[in-house]
């Protein structure tokens, strides 16, 4: 069974700063690692995802970095904005070919104006 | 497009009562899921249905049953509710295309309180 360990539990960043959230996984069988963003009262929504054949993926201010040897992947939010304040979850599939996800415990990000 | 619709949005039950959470998606997705979200625990998979006619247990299936009524609908039933089932429940759906990268489409959640 895939396990993902996410840190930190909460994060406070000044507007314009860099937010960094980390995840570690155990099972090496995977096809992708997605990150989800959740606003209060809403369901999670896919933010960005990476496949294991690349070490980094960037979409706007959001970047995923992937370290296969350390079994870690991280989300970087550059130039953090108050509108980025949300809970972020990393996730991993149960195994190769699976489409059901195991989620991390979440990071509550607060960006202070 | 409504996406994934869950009903009810809020429900209060007494211990031992039963209820069914309904979920419907209009994206013609094959796979559907039920997760529960608890503070500090993240999202935990209860049951999923990879395709119409199939269901499988997730991480925390005890105390729940599911029915994949048709391709659109996937219901979650609590036969005898317990306070430990107080949670926010999310239904999700997905379609595993060739370049699938884990995109699940979630509903807005059903907040259940068991007294």
Which residue in A has a C-alpha nearest to residue B103's C-alpha?
A46
Which residue of chain B is at minimal alpha-carbon distance from A47?
B103
Strands A10-14 and A107-112: parallel
> Distance between the two ends of chain A, CA-based, in angstroms?
40
Q: How many CB atoms lie within 10 A of CB A74?
A: 17
Please, are residues B46 and B61 in contact by the beta-carbon 8 Å criterion? yes
Query: Which pLDDT tens digits describe chain B residue by residue (115 residues)?
Result: 679 999 999 999 999 999 999 999 999 999 999 999 998 888 999 999 988 889 999 999 999 999 998 999 999 999 999 999 999 999 999 987 766 778 899 999 999 999 9
Q: Mind spelling out the 3-state secondary structure of A28-94?
A: CCCCCEEEEEECCCCCCEEEEEECCCCCEEEECCEEEEEECCCCEEEEEECCCCHHHCEEEEEEEEC
User: A5 to chain B, minimum CA–CA distance in Å?
Assistant: 10
Cβ(A93)–Cβ(A101) under 8 Å? yes
Residues of B with CB below 8 A from A75's CB?
A: none
B66 touching A, CB under 8 A? no
* 3-state secondary structure at position A100: coil
Q: How does pLDDT run along chain A (113 residues), one tens digit per residue? A: 667 899 999 999 999 999 999 999 887 667 788 999 999 999 999 999 988 788 899 999 999 998 888 889 999 999 999 999 999 999 988 766 666 788 999 999 999 99
| Chain A partners within 8 Å of B9 (Cβ) | none
Give the closest residue to B82 by CA, choosing from B34, B47, B36, B49: B36
Task: Looking at the complex, report in whole angstroms how far the Cα of residue A113 sits from the nearest Cα belonging to chain B.
Answer: 26
Helix/strand/coil percent split, chain B, to 5: 5, 50, 45
**Å from A27 to nearest chain B CA?**
15
Are B102 and A44 inside 8 Å of each other by CB? no
| Residue (of B65, B30, B18, B112) closest to A100 by Cα position | B30
């Amino acid at each position: 069974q895939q396990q993902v360990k996410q840190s930190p539990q909460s994060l406070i960043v000044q507007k314009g700063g860099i937010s960094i959230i980390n995840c570690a996984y155990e099972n090496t069988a995977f096809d992708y690692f997605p990150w989800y963003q959740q606003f209060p009262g809403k369901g999670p929504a896919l933010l960005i995802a990476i496949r294991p054949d690349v070490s980094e993926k960037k979409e706007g201010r959001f970047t995923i970095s992937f370290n296969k040897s350390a079994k870690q992947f991280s989300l970087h939010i550059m130039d953090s904005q108050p509108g980025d304040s949300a809970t972020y979850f990393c996730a991993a599939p149960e195994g190769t070919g699976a489409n059901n996800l195991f989620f991390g415990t979440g990071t509550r990000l607060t960006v202070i104006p | 497009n409504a996406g994934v619709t869950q009903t009810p949005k809020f429900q209060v039950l007494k211990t031992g009562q039963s209820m069914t959470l309904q979920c419907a998606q209009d994206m013609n997705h094959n796979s559907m899921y039920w997760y529960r979200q608890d503070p500090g625990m993240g999202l935990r998979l209860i049951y999923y249905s990879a395709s119409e006619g199939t269901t499988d247990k997730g991480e925390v299936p005890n105390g729940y049953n599911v029915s994949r009524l048709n391709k659109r609908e996937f219901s979650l039933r609590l036969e005898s509710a317990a306070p430990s089932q107080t949670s926010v429940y999310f239904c999700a759906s997905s379609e595993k295309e060739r370049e699938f990268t884990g995109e699940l489409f979630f509903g807005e959640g059903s907040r259940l309180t068991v007294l």
